[in-house]
Chain A
Amino acid sequence: AQKITQTQPGMFVQEKEAVTLDCTYDTSDPSYGLFWYKQPSSGEMIFLIYQGSYDQQNATEGRYSLNFQKARKSANLVISASQLGDSAMYFCAMREGDGGYQKVTFGTGTKLQVIP
């Protein structure tokens, strides 16, 4: 079964608008974390934001925020004031386990295109 589900293969957003990229996850581990990465056409993987399962507040990093709804097992990425440079693939990932044994799995990604 898919542990990380990203249901939007592609999305368009107008420049300067906000956009939400969906991510749902499945785990029985009480200690886990959710990451979002950006992959531009150059191929590098760029870390954007992290949310731990025990974090009380939703994570924010500049124009990125994570809408974490634990009961619904969702961790959506919100990008405010989209810019042309935000056009890229976006991957949601989940870390399971603690201490030494930690596994990180990724979703299938969402391709975001920002329209001028």
Chain B
Amino acid sequence: DVKVTQSSRYLVKRTGEKVFLECVQDMDHENMFWYRQDPGLGLRLIYFSYDVKMKEKGDIPEGYSVSREKKERFSLILESASTNQTSMYLCASRAGGPLSGANVLTFGAGSRLTVL
């Protein structure tokens, strides 16, 4: 019973291409997150969203944008892919609202993007 689904497990794109990474959750969670994971750097927060159409920059938003038109879907967009965006991208969701401090993140399986 997969709860956070990332549309592509592996992608190979060329420099300059526009790339869409899709994430869908079926748990009615308010919060959704996009991270990239690189060896030695851990998970770095790109963008997060706490409600439909709401988005906040994380620690490394440059070169990325996001879209959240529906509660269950959070898309990460690379407007013009570059080789330094080659990475593993992890989507996560989490129930929010009052008294939600202890709620854990549920992660997708990840999308490994290679930009040539």
Distance A3 CA – B109 CA, assembled complex (angstroms): 25
Instruction: Determine, out of B15-23, B41-49, B64-72, the stretch whose residues face the partner at the interface.
Output: B41-49
Asked if A47 CB lies within 8 Å of chain B CBs, one says: yes
Interface residues in B27-70 by Cβ distance below 8 A to A read 30-31, 33, 35, 40-45, 48, 50-51, 56, 58-59
Distance A98 CA – B31 CA, assembled complex (angstroms): 12
Category for how many chain B residues contact A:
20 to 34
Chain B nearest CB: distance from A45 CB in Å? 4
Chain B nearest CB: distance from A15 CB in Å? 26
Asked if B11 CB lies within 8 Å of chain A CBs, one says: no
Distance A50 CA – B100 CA, assembled complex (angstroms): 12
Taking CB as reference atom, which chain B residue is nearest A54? Answer: B101
Asked if A62 CB lies within 8 Å of chain B CBs, one says: no
Asked if B12 CB lies within 8 Å of chain A CBs, one says: no
Category for how many chain A residues contact B:
20 to 34
Produce 1/0 per residue, B78-106, CB < 8 A to A: 00000000001010101011101110110
Interface residues in A72-106 by Cβ distance below 8 A to B read 91, 93, 95, 98-106
Q: Contacting A108 at CB < 8 Å: which of B41, B45, B59, B100?
A: B41
Residue in A47, A98, A105 with the greatest tally of chain B CB atoms within 10 Å:
A105
Give every chain B residue within 8 A of A103 (Cβ-Cβ). 45, 48, 56, 58
Distance A9 CA – B96 CA, assembled complex (angstroms): 32
Residue in A44, A102, A107, A108 with the greatest tally of chain B CB atoms within 10 Å:
A102
Contact check, A102 vs B96: say whether CB atoms are below 8 A apart.
Answer: yes
Chain A nearest CB: distance from B89 CB in Å? 12
Interface residues in A29-44 by Cβ distance below 8 A to B read 31, 33, 35, 37, 43-44
Q: 28 A-B Cβ contacts within 8 A? A: A6-B42, A31-B101, A33-B101, A33-B102, A43-B88, A43-B109, A43-B110, A44-B107, A45-B90, A45-B92, A45-B107, A50-B102, A52-B101, A98-B98, A99-B98, A100-B50, A100-B97, A102-B50, A102-B94, A102-B101, A103-B45, A103-B48, A104-B45, A104-B92, A104-B94, A106-B35, A106-B44, A108-B42
